[in-house]
Structure 1
Amino acid sequence: MSMTPALPLLKRVSPGAWTALAWCASVAYPSVVLGGRTGQPSYMSGGTGHRDWAFISLATVMAFAASALLRRRPLVALVLLITASIAVSNAWRSGVQLPPAALLAVDVALCLITATYPRRTSRAAAAMVVGVLFAHLAMAPQMGGGLFHTGTTIGVSDGSLLVALIAWLAGRSMRQSREHAQTLGAQTAAQAVTAERLRIAREMHDTVAHSIGIVALQAGAARRVIDSRPDRARDALTEIEAAGRETLAGLRRMLGAMRQADQDAGAEVTPPHRLPGLADLDRLTAATASAGLRVDVRWHGERRPLLPEIDLAAFRIIQESVTNVVRHADTRSCQVSIDCRKEDEVAIEITDRGRGHSSTPGSGYGLAGLRERVALLHGEFHAAPRPHGGFHVSARLPVAGGTR
């Protein structure tokens, strides 16, 4: 049973929790870093050098409420955070600057809103923060080189504007990275679906083409002897019925396997049907013999079990080649050779002395599908008319470590 891997620890923290942690860090900053020294331009003091903890507590309650609202009402939460930051740092007073540390929670919220919410919401949040900072800079240009001051020194409030811009850019980068990852994931899923559909199409082609070839040959034989040998015609019709039923059963099994993925978890799942392999050659030769084509199968070396994909590919190569002999070669026999003498590969050859399948070597969808199937298994495949008549198909499938 597949299990979804757990998220990394940092991704388990909600945006509201990150904002609350940022607020706590901004509150602790003057005491831990500045030491609450008087005579210094520290914030969160009542202008007398000491901190008004009652006022800070009230602002903290407002900031925590904003953190709780961040997921549902991001713009309302941002307004509350800006209000709490300005109020607790006395930045509403004329001439008091707003340092970057006081806006730490606001910058974190702006980054998270830009990264996770629609572009319209993120732009509104950025405009709100930048507008407040520009308004504050217009009120306090004389305190250390504000934005509207003609000096060359970047003031404290200017630094807050730069940090807010960096937070917005970081959020935008996170958003673009997530969208890119989602696009790549969608493309990978689409490619996987396409590959699976191609695999199913090949399997259906191999199954149906073989059966249709047998049906066509048996129908022709029945038409020729229906007046002179009714018993032979009856046998041919019986083989046609059996081939049709077998093909329909195979298609139903394949469609049933495809629908299993759509079943609810916990529902009873039908075990997948066994894929054909070289062990089914006797059944294949019996079906073609009843259709008037004798298949001479020769084994070289010791038979050994193979991995399912190797075993299936070997059987499909023989099945498609024999089907082509039935449909195109106009001959009564063909030879199949399976060489298992090498430990690291299995070699397959199918030859006939008919008129050949096509003037172009390797033409036809069936042979193209076989060539692709063998290439996926890193094997070798050749199909071409023989110089003195007939057709020759050969394949080598690597089986190093492939026994089961």
Structure 2
Amino acid sequence: MSSDPIHSSSAGRPPPQSTIRRDLAWVCAVTVLAAVLGAAFDLSEKAYRFTRGMERFQLDELPGTLLVLSIGLAWFAWRRYREARRDLGYRRMLEEQAEQLLADNRRLANQALQAQEMERRHMARELHDELGQYLNAISLDAARIRDLSGEREPEIHRVSLGLIQSASHVYREIGGMIRRLRPIGLDEFGLPSALEHCVDGWRERLPEASFSVTIEGDFSGLSDALTITLYRLVQEGLTNVSKFARRSRVELFMVRAPREAHNAEAGERGKGGAPTPIDEIVVTMADDGPGTDLTKPRAGLGLIGMRERVEALGGEFHVASKPQGGFLFCARVPAHAGLAEPVN
């Protein structure tokens, strides 16, 4: 992320062919230079005359010994080079396996989120279609009993009024559950309208807070998983505001725009190593409330859930806060996240 994919560093990569040729050219040049200097100054003859006088110490055998040593060192260097190549290949294999496991983990997390949202959608539909209709029927029957009883049966009249009030209360609670399970208007009116409706609801609940909403870009064509994730991010952020910053100024900014990717992997994919444009969505929410110390453990799971949702879609999630310094979170998610990969 960032639970992010593991990329091999430049230090772990094999040297390019141009570097190998350059080093080999240097070795050849130094060898030729040594041969020229040896011929110019008769180094071999001088060494022979020097060692000939010390034959009792067997120094005349030194050139052969040095030759064997040099061959041995060359063999030793070649063995180490082969081992380094094997280690590098093994490391690359492990990194590829780690990347594959991370991709599988993200895919499974994305599927889990989709299954969760499908179950929530089904439950919201069942609550609305089944319980909602029955509660409405109970309320109508109770109202009929109330009208028929009138002043003749005060006790029946009182019970019918209580039944109407109970049915209305349960109906409102079910409506709240449906809104939490599946955002109202998300499928019909789109993400921007659903977010504005959500913020309007919090404006009523938090009259002492002020809200500023800025949404830019085209949010059509997004996957259902990404749409739900963006909505849940804002929803969780507003919930945190209601818990810790009820009198703060809240600024919500969401934009969809292309961004040039300058990392090594994107550069390899781009033509000629040029940066590859990535269509992404950025969500930022900030408040000027009391803030928090991020170095201390937190009891809630809200931030963890937000991070897991974003990273399951291949995005990045960052948080910044300090005591009396407000709170900010920023999420970056690829706009194509959750969509089916094109088949080549």
Q: TM-score range by the shorter chain?
A: 0.3 to 0.5
Provide the TM-score with structure 1 as the length reference.
0.33
Larger radius of gyration: 1
Structure 1 or 2: larger strand share? 2
Higher relative contact order (CA 8 A, sep 6+): 2
